[in-house]
Amino acid sequence: MRGLLACSLALAAPLAVAAERPAPLLVIHGGAGVVRAGLTEEDEAATRSALEAALRAGHAQLQAGKPALEAVTAAIAVLEDAPQFNAGRGAVFTHDGRNELDASIMDGASGKAGAVAGVQRVRHPILLARAVMERSRHAMLIGAGAEAFAREQGLELVDPSWFRTEKRWQQLQKALQAEASAQSRVEQPLDYFGTVGALALDAEGRLAAGTSTGGMTNKRWGRVGDSPIIGAGTWADARCAVSGTGWGEFYIRTAAAHEICARVRLAGQPLAQAAEDVINRDIPAAGGDGGAIALGADGSIAFPFNTEGMYRGWIGADGVPHVAVFAGEALPLP
């Protein structure tokens, strides 16, 4: 009798309803440290257009039911080809007048990651980072070895002149003149860094993150910043994805991208609070600056930054791109 009663109660109980998955999302940035005085109306319009193009490229992958990795890769490849950003074409110059490119990518579902640093002939470093993740036994390759691997994988190599823009060349000349005048490079970091990045949440609830950069103007000795370092400039897990942009040394020292997601995972902090605390409290307290984008598996988004501006944007299920540049500029959230 008790068994029949228990069975009846079980049948009468309402069925559990599975939580509805958030709609696919793509979030991007084109670098913090934007200075209003250094941006013409024409430059600003071209930059906003490039951000929208990147959002549409990534969104097309999500709309086609592709995984988050595809959306991240597609969006960053567009930004790497846009001369407005410090990544790929438009990368800044080293002290010796070269463009040295870094990138990384991480799949939150599997925990796999790939990165490259100091490449000079790879048109799309983000594609090479992904190839390292998917087609090698390694997590990071650098310099000539990374380019040899790119050649083996059939990735597009270009003449180094492809990456050159006059704007970046003149930034190097300015930096060299300041250096010759004994002005500290550490005193004015905002003119000399930039990065692009993308985060995606796909229809299956998977997250991915990627970051690509030309590094810091006038960098020497093979300097590598946070962008290709998993946990510093890029991180993705089952709950959270982050791509950073800023003074790389401080992002490395704080393991900024991982730290944000660790606070979400381990401390139960809301994504926006975790991102705000790390980017706008911990990094400035250590002497650095910059910004980040963060995306949660619940569809939450955060855009913390502490500079005059940060190129940023997102796109959702309706396919309408939303972009912003300066602090205080309205950017509706999903």
- 245 annotated to a ligand binding site: yes
- 226 annotated to a ligand binding site: yes
- Rounded (10°) CA dihedral 291, 296, 300, 303: 0
In 3D space, the residue among 72, 73, 91 whose CA is nearest the CA of residue 31 turns out to be: 91
How many CB atoms neighbour CB 183 within 10 A? 12
- 31 annotated to a ligand binding site: no
- 217 annotated to a ligand binding site: no
In 3D space, the residue among 310, 312, 311, 314 whose CA is nearest the CA of residue 299 turns out to be: 314
Residue type, 304: P
- Give the sheet arrangement for strand 290-296, strand by strand: 234-236, 240-246, 290-296, 301-302
Q: Over the Cα atoms of the chain, what is R_g?
A: 21
Q: Which residue has the tokens 């800023």?
A: 246
Q: Which residues, other chains included, contact 183 with Cβ-Cβ below 8 Å and sequence gap of 6+?
A: none
**Concatenated DSSP letters of 22-39:** PPPEEEEEEEE---GGG-
- 235 annotated to a ligand binding site: no
**Catalytically annotated residue among 47, 73, 94, 195:** 195
Q: How far apart are CA 263 and CA 275, in angstroms?
A: 9
In 3D space, the residue among 315, 101, 106 whose CA is nearest the CA of residue 210 turns out to be: 106
Contact 283, 246 (CB under 8 A): yes
Q: Which residues, other chains included, contact 1 with Cβ-Cβ below 8 Å and sequence gap of 6+?
A: none
Q: Which pair of structure tokens corresponds to residue 284?
A: 């400035």
- 246 annotated to a ligand binding site: yes
Clarify whether 195 is annotated catalytic. yes
Contact 73, 127 (CB under 8 A): yes
Q: How far apart are CA 37 and CA 54, in angstroms?
A: 25
Q: Which residues are annotated as a binding site for substrate?
A: 223-226, 245-248
Which residues are known catalytic residues? 195
Q: Which residues are annotated as a binding site?
A: 223-226, 245-248
